Amino acid sequence: MERHVALVSTEPHDELVRYLNDLGFVVRAFRTPLGAPREGTLVWLTDPASDDRMVIDTVRTWLSPKAARRVIVVTERPVRLKEVIEIARGRVLLLAAPVFGWQLVDALRDEAFAAR
């Protein structure tokens, strides 16, 4: 089973993309979540300039109540984005930046998270 990941970041993360690809994930990188395909898991590496309300609204739009989409948001301000978790319980994971590649892999492979 292919595990699709849309990796969103304003900065290039070629090493992370290669790392995830080497572990069996099908990764496509994007500068904004608006162009990301609506399948699999959206991994959004937000930057300090990201508007919290825009992040919350974008996650809400990207998820669909009927689809098996999931979102991992990596942010330096996790407390300010707690509302994003309430959008779709169990389908949104919030990680405090910075994260290592293995932490993302653990989150992507988490059975409880993946089963939703």
Alpha-carbon gap, residue 13 to 113, rounded angstroms: 24
What are 50-94's pLDDT values in tens digits? Answer: 999 999 999 988 887 767 789 999 999 998 888 888 887 788 999
For 35, the 3-state DSSP assignment is helix
User: Which CATH superfamily is 3-114 part of?
Assistant: Response regulator (3.40.50.2300)
What's this model's pTM, rounded to 2 decimal places? Answer: 0.90
Structure tokens at 54: 């825009």
Alpha-carbon gap, residue 81 to 55, rounded angstroms: 8
Q: In which residue are the tokens 């969103």 written?
A: 8
Say how many C-beta atoms besides its own lie within 10 A of residue 36's C-beta.
21
Alpha-carbon gap, residue 32 to 46, rounded angstroms: 10
DSSP string, 76-90: S-GGGGTHHHHHTTT
Cis peptide before 98 (omega within 30 of 0): yes
What are 7-27's pLDDT values in tens digits? Answer: 999 999 999 999 999 999 999
Query: Where do the structural domains in the chain lie, given as residue ranges?
Result: 3-114
